[in-house]
Chains A and B, each alone.
Chain A
Amino acid sequence: MNDFRLIMRNLFGSRSRFALTLVGITLGITALVVMISLGTGLRTQIDKQASDLGANLVVTPKGWCAYEQVKVLSGNQLPDAIPPEELVKIEAVEGIETLPYLTVGSAIENEPVPVTGILMADTVEMKRWSVEKGDVPTDGTPTILAGSSIAESFDLAPGDPVTLRGVEFTVAGLIAETGTRDDAVLFIPLDVAHEVYETDGRVSFVAIKVDDVSKVDLAAQRISDAANVAVVSDKQLLASVLSVVDSVGTTLRIIAAVAILTAAFGIVNTMLMATFERRRDIGILKSIGSSNARIFRLFLFEAGAYGFIGGVVGLIVGVIASRLITPYIASNEFTAFVGSATVDAIPPFSQMGLILLGSVVVAAVAGVYPAMRAARLTPVEAISYE
């Protein structure tokens, strides 16, 4: 016999109570893992989107909030809010390259698909896309450059006809997989998009590449002086996007914290009941030579074991749940661009270790008071009566 075995015997002595207590802490840890997975997934993906934008500055209509800025990265449909006269003024600013985007949408076989109007040659160059099949479309022709995943889901190949908004387009080329939201988008020449979508030359936003990276601030100043628009840097954009993610993350973390706190009280309750039910056993252990400190330790470790077992199970369930939940998260408009990236957005091992440690610590702390009660019990009373 050793302490470990004795603790295990006590732990599994009452199986239903053990299971019920474990459910609490397991749920808490599962929630935490899912939250962190999704948070990490969002963050990595946003980072990637931002860097793939390939721009130093983004020009948006005035008064956009962070939520709308997220959409710049997500490729979702945005209002065509920058009029052509402003666009001309922006293009006139020196030392920058401008890439206007018109994000619209259409449907293929009754399924909504994102469509984006771009300056073909310039955008392909700036984004460093490699066109693996077919050619880059020529501006002015009703042709399509399709992202890899959307091409796959609709079985598109160069030469295929696609009808967008009642106009027949032809697939000109396919972009090699980028791992970003671009994979799910149909790109068409901007001038064609203006015509088909009757936008009078307005665009959704403009990506700006500053020739001299050290003069980004100056360029931003010049653009906002020249035109009636808002200018954000890629860093600001990232920051505001992350702030949105963080506010979502904070909510999720509070939920996880509440779940874990509830679980902790479950452990306090279970251990207090165990202290009460095992009064006699505690008395016996003392009568055969256990010190108070040893009793304290036995109970504390027993509580900690709930944290360890619940933590391990919670980690496993959490990782599985993260994978299962991802598709549903991806179908939400706001988080859509997380897409497949969440699959590898499982917390790193170091973080999992920390979660497990945290779980054990929380459980052990929950066990302190019951363990103190157990250690202080006077043995004489407990063992003297039937």
Chain B
Amino acid sequence: MNSIMKVQGVHKTYNGRSVPTTALRGVNLEIEAGSFTCLVGPSGHGKSTLLHLLGGLDRPCEGSIEAFGQRLEHMSDAELARFRAHKVGFVFQFFNLLKGLTVAENVEVAMMFAGLPAKEQSKRAAELLESVGLGDKMKARANELSGGQMQRVAIARALANDPDVLLLDEPTGNLDTVSEGEVLGILDELHRQGRTIVMVTHGAEVAARAQRIVEVRDGRVSV
């Protein structure tokens, strides 16, 4: 067993404006290299929170998260940023593209944060967009695309720095069945190529594609 991520006893409480909310209460989880894991569970029970912690977008209040031999909770802001730039790629339900930029620029920005020279950025962005079937949309504004196209751009962006793990939060939650099929097809292909994938989803059929289904309920994990 070759686990690249190891979550141990993680607690997370949000200090909201009015009352603090506890989203995770003692999560233990391991992610193996090359695995396809789906996080399922009722709304508001902590799936997104767990995904954000795995990707170093937020910090746990308690417990430890080890990724690729490094302890995320011990990292500085700058180190966490570097971790996000090089090791993980995020895809969100609401696409989260930079609307003022072109499709190609959206992918390039991610490479900029990883320190890639501009010339290589545009070359690689073109390849990635080609691979998700958007070679002809490079110059289009991000907000001129359909939802399915936006999500494919988001996947290309997540792959920009050849991350060790892809973290997706309901990537098909806002898509019609055709677009959903396209996106899932791309994910299957990535998995076949050996990419580690962790995906949050509500759909049972979607989850059925995964090797492993993890249920998040009440801030805890049951396999």
Binding site for B on A (CB under 8 A): 1-3, 5-6, 9-10, 13, 280-281, 283-294, 378-380, 383-386
Contact = CB atoms under 8 A, between A and B. Distances in A.
B110 interface: yes
B102 to A, nearest CB: 10
Nearest to B76: A291
Interface string B90-102: 1010101111110
Contact of A13 (B81, B100, B109, B112): B100
B71 to A, nearest CB: 18
Contacts of A289: 81-82, 84-86, 110, 113-114, 161
Nearest to B52: A380
A346 B96 CA distance: 50
A383 B96 contact: yes
Contacts of A281: 98-100
A343 B92 CA distance: 62
Contact of B105 (A1, A287, A385): A1
B157 interface: yes
Given A281-B99, A294-B113, 11 more contacts: A2-B118, A6-B112, A9-B101, A280-B96, A284-B98, A285-B113, A288-B110, A289-B82, A290-B85, A379-B57, A380-B58
Contacts of B118: 1-2
Contact of A286 (B57, B121, B160): B57
Contact of B112 (A1, A280, A283, A286): A1
Contacts of B48: 384
B52 to A, nearest CB: 5
B96 A284 contact: yes
B57 A287 contact: yes
Contact of A287 (B77, B96, B161): B96
Q: Which 7 A-B pairs have the closest CB atoms?
A: A289-B85, A291-B81, A289-B113, A1-B108, A288-B110, A13-B100, A289-B84
B204 interface: no
B165 to A, nearest CB: 14
A294 B77 CA distance: 11
A361 to B, nearest CB: 26
Nearest to A9: B100
Contacts of B105: 1, 5, 9
Q: Bin the interface of chain B by size.
A: 35 or more
- The main secondary structure of chain B at its interface with chain A is helix
A303 B159 CA distance: 32
Contacts, number: 84
Nearest to B117: A2
Interface of B: 48, 52, 55, 57-58, 77-78, 80-82, 84-86, 90, 92, 94, 96-101, 105, 108-114, 118, 121, 157, 160-161
Contacts of A294: 81, 113
22 contacts: A1-B105, A1-B121, A9-B100, A9-B101, A13-B100, A281-B100, A284-B98, A285-B109, A286-B84, A287-B84, A288-B85, A288-B90, A288-B160, A289-B81, A289-B113, A289-B114, A290-B113, A291-B77, A291-B78, A291-B81, A294-B81, A378-B58
B144 to A, nearest CB: 15
Contacts of B81: 286, 289-292, 294
B85 to A, nearest CB: 3
Contacts of A13: 100
Contacts of A290: 81, 85, 113
A3 to B, nearest CB: 7
B199 to A, nearest CB: 16
A383 B52 CA distance: 11
A1 B96 contact: no
Contacts of A5: 105
Nearest to B112: A1
Given A293-B77, A378-B58, A10 B109 contact: no
A292 B96 contact: no
B94 to A, nearest CB: 5
A6 B94 contact: no
A13 B109 CA distance: 16
A380 to B, nearest CB: 5
A383 B94 contact: yes
Contacts of A285: 98, 109, 113
Nearest to B114: A289
Contact of B109 (A6, A283, A292, A386): A6
B12 to A, nearest CB: 10
A10 B100 CA distance: 8
